Structure 1
Amino acid sequence: MTVAGRASLFDLGEVDRLLTTTRSVRRRLDVERPVPAEVVREALELAVQAPTAQNLQHWRWIVITEEKVRLGVAEQFRQARWLDRYRGTRSRRGRREAESRRLQDSADSVVELIAKVPVLVVPCMVGRPPDIGRIDAEWTGRGYRFDPDDIRSRSRMGAMMASNFYGSIYPAIWSFQLALRSRGLGSTITCMNLMFPGPFAELLGIPEVVTPICVLPVAYTVGTDFRPAPRVPAGERTFWNRWGIEEAP
């Protein structure tokens, strides 16, 4: 196979199929079929090949297979979903009824999924999420702002540090999901655990200096015939060289 006249190192048809059909799977997870620990290990070994800021590899992974622990997580998700529903009665009033119901049903299904799925994986990062506002305030409070000609007076550090923090784990999470998909398993990213950070950390024994990022329910899928999702074409939301310029050079 060639790309732009050059030989490709991979079977692009299969690579593209993997990338375009790795879905966020909820309803089509087989909660009755056991997931061998070795399959999870293989997927994690592939995941940690993902890039990470400064090659620090500050990720940690908690794999939950014990029913008691999983049910504890599910109970926290159930409470978080109740709070989210309360908030949603206000924030979703402007949406179409059918769309709102679909989104609520999908979120409700995650709660039940957490309680039944054979494996939960919790990606974590060593460290705490950067406080953008505090970091920027400290940075600009060092006297740089008093010199308008000094490039340091126009710089900020908070957003860059936050991007490095989350950008060092989500590529690995996505690689983990791709590895699962290639082995006939599915998953979905859910973050409702973050509504109860203290109780969640206590349940799993997570140290205070470690940040859980999300929870991924993992199981074999019912069937493998996933299709690309409907998406707005990238070309309609891509600019070249400057914002608003839609024509390629």
Structure 2
Amino acid sequence: MDLIEVMESNATCRSYKPDPVPDSVLQAAFDAARFGPQGGNRQPIRWVVVRDPKTKKQLKEWYLGPWTAYIANARKGAINIGASSRLLDRADNFAHHLDEVPAIVVVCAHIASLHVTDPDFDRPSVVGGASIYPCVQNFLLACRNLGLGTALTTLLCAFEPQVKELLSIPADFLTAAHIAVGYPAEPFPKKLKRRPVEEIVFAERFGVPMLGR
């Protein structure tokens, strides 16, 4: 597939076929993922592929805790996520069937290999993810190119100590995301809906449109 086509059609997949994903297909996706840009080429990321039904069920049970609170607030309008009731229903169904997804990939990162430059600001630190999430995005795009659907979530990161113990993740690693992976039960969209470039790209100063000046 053309790279732009892959990017424009890589929707979050919330419904999967039960078909297992072969090791060779996952290997191809991980092979592409490792070429994401990383500070100093320190390559901090490790991946854990979870297929065991009991382990997936435990991950689902932890996931449902924060998810239940999140969707309840979304449905009553306490948080505005811009999602339709149909989308919320699909996301809720995904959460309650997370253990049925063929594979859950746990993204881990070596803490000492992350160069965090924004820990002292009065906001959540995000800079450490600069050496993590480009590789994660590479993995998502590679999966799409291979016909796999994916769903990226960080809700389970709230249970990092439990997940690390369950999966024998070393103490000097963190968990950065969890990715559901499998063959989609529905066709991929041809193109996702996003804000136009004119609304999100500025020239020289925030709020000054780059286009149409």
TM-score (norm 2): 0.85
* In structure 1, C-alpha distance between the alignment counterparts of 2:37 and 2:80, rounded to whole Å: 38
User: How far apart are 1:247 and its partner, in Å?
Assistant: 4.3
Residue type at the aligned position of 2:56: R
Q: Spell out the pairing of 1:68-147 with structure 2 (5 A cutoff).
A: 68-85=54-71, 88=74, 92-93=77-78, 99=83, 101-102=85-86, 104-127=88-111, 130=116, 132-133=118-119, 135=120
Tell me the matched-pair count.
210
Indicate the residue corresponding to 1:59 in structure 2.
45
Q: Is the 8 A contact 1:123 1:215 kept in 2?
A: yes
CA distance 1:112–1:126, change in 2 (3 Å): same
* C-alpha RMSD of matched pairs (Å): 2.9
Pairwise mapping of residues 157-236 of structure 1 onto structure 2 (< 5 A)?
Answer: 162-163=126-127, 165-236=128-199
Q: Deviations over 1:159-184 (max 9, x none)?
A: 9x841x20111111111111111111
The offset of 1:87, in angstroms, is 5.1
Distance 2:84 2:185 in 1: 26
Match of 2:209 in 1: 246
2:156 and 2:9 mapped to 1: Cα distance? Answer: 26
Please tell me the residue identity of whatever aligns with 2:100: K
Conservation of the 8 A alpha-carbon contact between 1:48 and 1:172: yes
The one-letter code of the counterpart of 2:62 is: Q
Higher Rg of the two aligned structures: 1
Deviation at 1:15, TM superposition (A): 2.3
Q: Which residue of 1 aligns with 2:22?
A: 36
* CA apart distance, 1:38: 1.3
Structure with the bigger percentage of helix? 1
**SS of the residue 2:183 aligns to:** strand
Distance 1:52 1:239, change over 3 A: same
Per-residue deviation, residues 78-129 of structure 1 (Å, max 9, x unmatched): 2222333455577x24759x94634542431232342101111011111178
Matched residue type, 1:241 = E
Contiguous gaps of at least 5 residues in structure 1: 1-12, 138-157
